[in-house]
Amino acid sequence: MEDKLPSDRAKATRKDLPPIALLSDFGSRDHYVGVMKGVIAGLAPSAPIIDLTHGVPAQCVTAGALALRESWRFFPRRTVFLAVVDPGVGTARRAVAIETAAGARLVGPDNGVLWLAAEQAKVKRAVELDAPRYRLARVCDTFHGRDVFAPAAAYLWRGVALRAFGPAVADLARLDLGAVEQRARRLCGAVIYVDHFGNLISNITREQFEDFAARFPGRGVSIKIGARARVRLARTYAQSAAGAAMALFGSFELLEIAVRDASAARRFHAGAGTAVEVNIDR
């Protein structure tokens, strides 16, 4: 006899319902986000849905992974995060669901987009989403967000056990943000993310910066973006004059380059991959 699916009715009157949070590179022009919500609504009508963002640059797995890492810990435990940045949709890349020690549950392609959040929240267990029962009857090779990931997120939210979705996965795809190297009096990294304001976020952490600067007590530092431009460290965006460039540590806790009331990306013709250097003054 077929086992009975968990119902969300018992949860419908609770005030502490965790949400399903959606992240994608689908934008708002097309129907893709709306139809994923429709699938979720049909399977888990009591589930609150939060749009984390659908403005991830197209096919940019790193940007999606960073956005997810910077978001998950501000949500209630047991939140289901559905992340779809999936340039390899329809290929041999796996579809996965991850349960973490911190309580967050992650659903999406196994291409690195889930890795930074999963690593931070501590992976407890992961499975491949291959059980036909927990996806739509027909799966389109180009829209797993609708046919595989949205149903999985809804069923996971309803209480289906992780093991029911498929076999265990022990080798999740990892994401490398690039090396930060110390070279004599220089700390060398690169831009890994450009936000809506044109701020250039690098892969240099506050801890790496402070450890490096501590090696040269009493010396000032400047930050070079690209081949020539040098800027000084500030604490806030408003600390600099209008139109002035600066470096600071924002909410990512990563060194970023900004321009007061303007776009650093446009000012310096920079983007992902542009070199960022911390230099010790002579």
Q: 123 and 45 in one domain?
A: yes
Q: Is 43 a domain residue?
A: yes
pTM of the predicted model as reported, rounded to 2 decimal places:
0.90
Q: 188 and 219 in one domain?
A: yes
Q: 255 and 207 in one domain?
A: yes
Q: Is 31 a domain residue?
A: yes
Q: Which two tokens stand for residue 272?
A: 């992902």
Q: Is 205 a domain residue?
A: yes
Q: 33 and 97 in one domain?
A: yes
Q: 144 and 206 in one domain?
A: no
Boundary (domain end) residue, out of 133, 165, 197: 165
| CATH code of the domain containing 258 | 2.40.30.90
pLDDT in tens, the chain (282 residues): 344 555 554 544 456 799 999 999 999 999 999 999 999 999 999 999 999 999 999 999 999 999 999 999 999 999 999 999 999 999 999 999 999 999 999 999 999 999 999 999 999 999 999 999 999 999 999 999 999 999 999 999 999 999 999 999 999 999 999 999 998 899 999 999 999 999 999 999 999 999 999 999 988 899 999 887 789 999 999 988 999 999 999 999 999 999 999 999 999 999 999 999 999 987
Q: 118 and 16 in one domain?
A: yes
Q: Is 175 a domain residue?
A: no
Question: How do 186-194 and 200-205 pair as beta strands?
Answer: antiparallel
| CATH code of the domain containing 34 | 3.40.50.10790
Say how far residue 68 (Cα) sits from the centre of its chain: 3
Q: Is 4 a domain residue?
A: no
Q: 125 and 63 in one domain?
A: yes
pLDDT at residue 6, as a whole number: 56
Q: Cα(145)–Cα(237) distance, rounded to whole angstroms?
A: 37
Q: 216 and 161 in one domain?
A: no
Q: Cα(55)–Cα(35) distance, rounded to whole angstroms?
A: 17
Which residue range forms the structural domain that includes residue 190?
181-280
Q: 111 and 17 in one domain?
A: yes
Q: Which two tokens stand for residue 54?
A: 């659908």
- How many domains does one find in the chain? 2
Q: 105 and 235 in one domain?
A: no
Q: 143 and 78 in one domain?
A: yes
